[in-house]
Structure 1
Amino acid sequence: MANLTLVYGLRLLPEGEVKQVHDATLELVNGNEAHVTMHVLEGSREQIEAQLKQSLDAFFDFYPEI
C-alpha cells in the first residue's frame, strides 16, 4: 500500500457562531480539483471527542483496502 495524504482541519468556535459550512476545495497536482466535505460536531469536549472518533472510524470503514 502506498503512503496516503489525509486532508483535515479543525476549528473550535463558540456554540451558535456558525451560520453555514461549505466544502473545502483542493487543487491537485494534475490540475483537477477535489472537494472535502466539512462536518460540524457540537457538544461538550467529551461529546465532540466521542463523535470525532466515531466519524474517523466510519471514514476508514469506507476504505477497507487501507
Structure 2
Amino acid sequence: MANLTLVYGMRLLPADEIASVGEAPVTLKNGKEAHVTLHVLEGSREEIEAQLRMSIDAFFDFYPEI
C-alpha cells in the first residue's frame, strides 16, 4: 500500500460565535480537487478530547484495509 497523508486542522473558537462550518478544498497533483469535511466538537476540554478520540477511531473504521 502507498504511503498516506492525513489532512487535518484544528482551531478553538468561542462556541457561541460560530455561524457555519463548510469544507476545505485540497488540490491534487493531477489537477483534480478534493474536499475535506470540517467537523465541530463542543464542550469542555475533557469532552472535546473524548469526542476527538472517538472520531479518530470511527474515521479509521471507514478504511479497514489500512
TM-score by length of 1: 0.96
2:55 and 2:10 map into 1 onto residues whose CA distance is 14
Q: Which runs of 4 or more aligned residues in structure 1 lie more than 6 Å from their structure 2 counterparts after TM superposition?
A: none
Query: Matched residues in 1 for 2:17 and 2:56: separation?
Result: 24
Q: Which has the higher helix share?
A: 2
Deviation of 1:14 after TM superposition, in Å, equals 1.2
* Structure 1: runs of 5+ lacking an equivalent: none
1:24 is aligned to: 24
Select the structure with the greater relative contact order (CA < 8 A; seq sep ≥ 6): 1
Stretches of structure 2 that go unaligned for 5 or more consecutive residues are none
> What is the TM-score of this pair, normalised by structure 2?
0.96
Separation in structure 2 between the aligned mates of residue 2 and residue 30 of structure 1, nearest angstrom: 16
Please give the secondary structure, in 2, of the residue aligned with 1:54: helix
| Identity across matched positions, percent | 73
Equivalenced residue count is 66
